[in-house]
Amino acid sequence: KLQRPPPPGARTQRERAAMTLQGVAFLNPSGPTASYAADLAGPHLLHARSQAAAAEPGSGSPLASALPVLGAVLALGAVCRRHRRAATTRRATAEKRFPILSSRPASEGILPNLPEGIAPGVVTGKSLEILLEWAKQKGFAIPAVNCVSTSSINACLEAARKMDSPIIIQFSSGGAQFYAGKGLDNKEFHAAIAGAVAGAYHVRALAEQYGIPVILHTDHCAKDLLPWLDGLLSADERYFERHGEPLFSSHMMDLSEEPLEENIELCTKYLERMAKMNVGLEMELGITGGEEDGVNNEDANPEDLYSKPEEIWQVYEALSKVPNGNFTIAAAFGNVHGVYQAGNVKLDPKILGKAQTYICEKLGLPEGSKPVKFVFHGGSGSEK
């Protein structure tokens, strides 16, 4: 077929390709874009020109007219993709706040008199240590609530803001599975892992907007639930690689039903992994009575409901040897899960004071020091 002659003054395909590259360079003549365009488009255009030169001008070959433009388009697309990837990497590295809301200020007030190093939002690493130490010095406990939905998370954030208080928002394995929905298979703890991670992102998106510091935590993890914890730590590691901090503030290991030596050994092993990305560990010593999330200790030996100072020292000594390790101890002092009438639960918090004194003597610390950060579990049923 005969090729239709171009209209007078029309540019050739080759000229239009050259103009495309010139336009790319014009966008940022002093930056890398122009050199990227030349480097990336060069091979395409050289190949296109050689193919076009091999064809006679009047041959009507579509290859002769299409290849130069194709080379330019490919080059321009590669430049854009490279710039988008670079911009995404820069933003992920530079931003410490939740990325989606990073340019928006918190819409609510900020907890007054926060210590230096603490800011609204999820606290991790050194900020977590400062917050726990601040609570110890001020003599107050930070409440922890197991959440199973976005509504329960929002209710906790709202209550903490109204009370001007930090809060611990946490997920159990069963609660995290519920969060993910009944339609998701929990084989190999898939739903429990996905639900906890989804809840963590929800907390991160809103905690800063409520203007309060939040500890993002996971609850009881017995030995048979360790694969669930492994999945959450993998999520922490991926988040740490991208943002320089873990997804969660801390995780709990509840190996209180195992022999003390095995409990300490496994907690030390996991803390070594956690410490590399500034994740805190809560370990349980002794048994919390009652029932929670399918774990029933209502028939536990009464002696196991009360930890001994010597046992608490064993744990403290072992975990303190982990470099950069941050840990808390849930020691038993008669506390149980559930709600009971006053008098049915016999608390003995003096056990914790005796443990502090015992460890101070072991470490040669001044009298009155409190080296251990304790966690209290359960509903006490106390009148006070």
Read off the tokens for 79: 């430049």
User: 3-state secondary structure string, 305-336?
Assistant: HECCHHHHHHHHHHHCCCCCCCEEEEECECCE
Q: Which residues of 171-180 are buried (b: 16+ CB within 10 A; e: fewer)?
A: bbbbbbbbbb
Q: Alpha-carbon distance 380 to 144, whole Å?
A: 15
User: 3-state secondary structure string, 103-126?
Assistant: CCCCCCCCCCCCCCCCCCEECCHH
Radius of gyration for the alpha carbons in the chain, expressed in angstroms and rounded: 30
Catalytic residue among 39, 164, 185, 219: 219
Residue 22, C-beta contacts closer than 8 angstroms, at least 6 positions apart: none
Read off the tokens for 4: 């239709």
For 30, the 3-state DSSP assignment is: coil
C-alpha distances in angstroms, 331 versus 153, 181, 316, 353, 374? 27, 33, 11, 11, 7
Per the annotation, the verdict on 185 as an active-site residue is: no
Q: Alpha-carbon distance 128 to 144, whole Å?
A: 14
Q: At what angle do helices 350-363 and 309-319 cross, to 10 degrees?
A: 50
Residue 194, C-beta contacts closer than 8 angstroms, at least 6 positions apart: 176, 180, 184
DSSP secondary structure letter of residue 292: E
Question: Which active-site residues does the annotation give?
Answer: 219
